[in-house]
Structures are given as C-alpha cells and as structure tokens.
C-alpha cells in the first residue's frame, strides 16, 4: 500500500515527516504536528484507511522498543500509550 514503483523516496520522506510530526506533537506543537490531521485526509484519497494510517505510529513505537532493548522502560511505554491515544483523537475526522 506504500506503492511499489518509484516509491522509495516517498516512503523515506513519509517516515521522516512522520517522525518530525510525532516529535512536534509530543513537544512544542509549533506546526509540524498539523501534518498528521492533514495527511489522514489525503491518505483517504490514496486508499489508506484511517486505522491503517494511525497504525503506522504504533509500528514506529514498536520499532523503537525493539531498538532500545533493555533501555525501554515501563514509563516510556506508558508515555507512548498516552501519545498514541492523543494522536488517535487528534486525527479523528468528523463524520
């Protein structure tokens, strides 16, 4: 669903922008975080359902957990859980 042809650049940019948006959302909320709500709508047009779009943030969390190994703590897990819930609410599209 990320497209198969000529998509590496788009996938890399998507990941980089998603990480920037997460950091901004969790931090100062200066502007990058707004991408999340915008893109949930444009992805609807690409055929990416909202649930799948949101699941991408969970995949990033899981990947970080795997990378951190022993350094992953219950507190980090809790903070991520809260963050993912907030992102889900923020990206909610009114019916």
Binding positions for ligand HEM, rule: CB under 6 A:
1-3, 7, 10, 14, 17-18, 21, 35-36, 39, 42-43, 46, 48, 52-53, 56
- Would you say 1 or 89 has its CB closer to ligand HEM? 1
Contact by Cβ (8 Å): 38, 17:
no
Smallest distance from the beta carbon of 79 to ligand HEM, in angstroms?
19
Number of C-beta neighbours around residue 36 at 10 A: 20
Cα separations in angstroms, 70 against 17, 20, 58: 27, 25, 19
- Would you say 51 or 71 has its CB closer to ligand HEM? 51
């Amino acid at each position: 669903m990320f497209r198969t042809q000529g998509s590496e650049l788009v996938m890399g940019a998507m990941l980089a922008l998603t990480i920037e948006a997460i950091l901004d959302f969790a931090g100062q909320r200066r502007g990058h975080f707004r991408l999340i709500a915008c893109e949930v709508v444009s992805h609807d047009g690409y055929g990416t359902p909202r649930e799948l779009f949101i699941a991408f943030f969970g995949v990033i969390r899981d990947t970080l957990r795997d990378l951190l190994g022993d350094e992953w703590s219950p507190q980090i897990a809790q903070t991520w859980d809260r963050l993912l819930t907030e992102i889900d609410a923020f990206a909610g599209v009114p019916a």
